[in-house]
């Protein structure tokens, strides 16, 4: 049937209604359809780009993770070997003296994890260094419960903060801006490590305090990426997202094993929280005290 009115038939006569006048096209409707098609096309392109980016990051992390798993088995590339490679890499940007001090301070931080892991009865590798990604310690097994995981996680920033404070004290005693700058970077990196999302140390503390804060930490990490524009943060966002999803899904099973792992007394939650917040305050104060400004080849302290 065409655009004319319907035909009414009877035994007596047939009456055909006159054809309806042509209705002009609605230009606004056509424009709306065009805009809808453009939006759908844009969403499709954005979705494809995000999918490609996710696949690329997943492959990149697979390579990094495979390298981390092989590091403890590579005798030639042990702690000393990976440290020398990192010093050489950082020297390209900061000079060898700063690079050497930076790697030593990373080593102090990681040794905090190693010491606490051994106190918990968990076998761990020596620290391994990854240029521009920091350093890592490989655990042979997970801690017995979330409280032990929090102790291991916070031990790194505790010893790292102590190392930065000693560096600052020597810098003040010798009036060395190099040591002040190293202390500032160490305070800053230990503070960043307290972001409440795994694999950062703050995320391991949150396992005993409030695991829901993993999502807050992940959002903070995404915000930090847009502020700092550092592509290496994408690796941590990908890893943090996958690990948060895995652990949260495991918690939702409400199995006896999961319940036992995350069962922490209120007193211990408060203790972990006090250490966590205390570290943030001390590290922020340390950054303020050690900040060095450089201008036109001359350095001077900020007031």
Distance, CA of 87 to CA of 95 (rounded, Å): 9
The pLDDT-based confidence of 199 (bands split at 50, 70, 90) is confident
The pLDDT-based confidence of 19 (bands split at 50, 70, 90) is very low
Q: Is the pLDDT of residue 8 over 50?
A: no
pLDDT in tens, 138-152: 888 888 899 999 999
Mean pLDDT of the chain: 79
Q: Is the pLDDT of residue 2 over 60?
A: no
Domain boundaries, the chain: 72-141, 169-303
The pLDDT-based confidence of 38 (bands split at 50, 70, 90) is low
DSSP the chain: --SSPPPEE-SS-EE-PPPPPPPPP-HHHHHHHHHHHHHHHHHHHHHHHHHHHHHHHHHHHHHHHHHHHHGGG-STTSHHHHHHHHHHHHHHHH-HHHHHHHHHHHHHHHHHHHHHHHHTT--BPPPEEETTTEEE--BSS--SSHHHHHHHHHHHHHHHHHHHHHHHHHHHHHT-HHHHHHHHHHHHHHHHTTSSSTTSHHHHHHHHH-TTHHHHHHHHHHHHHHHH--TTHHHHHHHHHHHHHHHHHHHHT--HHHHHHT---HHHHHHHHHHHHHHHHHHHHHHHHH-EEEETTEEEE--
Residue 285's closest CA among 173, 212, 190? 190
How confident is the model over 160-171, as a mean pLDDT? 96
Q: Which of 49-53, 112-116, 284-288 is least confident?
A: 49-53
Contact between 132 and 78 under an 8 Å Cβ cutoff? The reply is: no
């Amino acid at each position: 049937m065409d655009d004319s009115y319907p035909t009414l038939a009877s035994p007596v006569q047939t009456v055909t209604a006159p054809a309806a006048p042509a209705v002009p096209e609605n230009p606004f409707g056509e424009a709306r359809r065009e805009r809808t098609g453009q939006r759908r096309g844009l969403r499709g392109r954005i979705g494809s780009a995000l999918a490609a980016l996710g696949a690329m990051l997943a492959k990149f992390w697979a390579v990094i993770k495979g390298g981390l798993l092989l590091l403890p088995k590579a005798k030639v590339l042990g702690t000393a070997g990976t440290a020398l490679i990192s010093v050489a890499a950082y020297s390209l940007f900061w000079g060898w003296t700063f690079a050497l001090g930076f790697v030593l301070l990373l080593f102090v931080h990681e040794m905090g994890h190693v010491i606490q892991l051994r106190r918990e009865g968990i076998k761990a590798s020596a620290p391994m260094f990854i240029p521009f990604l920091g350093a890592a310690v490989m655990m042979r097994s997970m801690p017995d419960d979330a409280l032990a995981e929090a102790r291991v996680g916070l031990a790194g920033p505790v010893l790292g903060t102590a190392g930065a404070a000693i560096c600052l004290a020597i810098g003040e005693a010798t009036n060395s801006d190099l040591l002040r700058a190293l202390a500032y970077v160490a305070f800053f990196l230990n503070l960043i490590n307290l972001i409440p999302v795994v694999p950062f140390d703050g995320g391991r503390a949150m396992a005993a305090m409030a695991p829901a804060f993993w999502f807050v930490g992940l959002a903070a990490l995404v915000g930090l990426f847009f502020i700092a524009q550092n592509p290496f943060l994408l690796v941590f966002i990908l890893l943090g997202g996958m690990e948060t999803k895995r652990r949260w899904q495991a918690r939702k099973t409400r199995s006896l094993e999961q319940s036992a792992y995350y069962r922490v007394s209120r007193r211990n939650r408060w203790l972990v929280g006090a250490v966590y917040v205390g570290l943030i305050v001390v590290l922020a104060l340390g950054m303020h005290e050690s900040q060095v400004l450089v201008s036109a080849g001359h350095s001077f302290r900020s007031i």
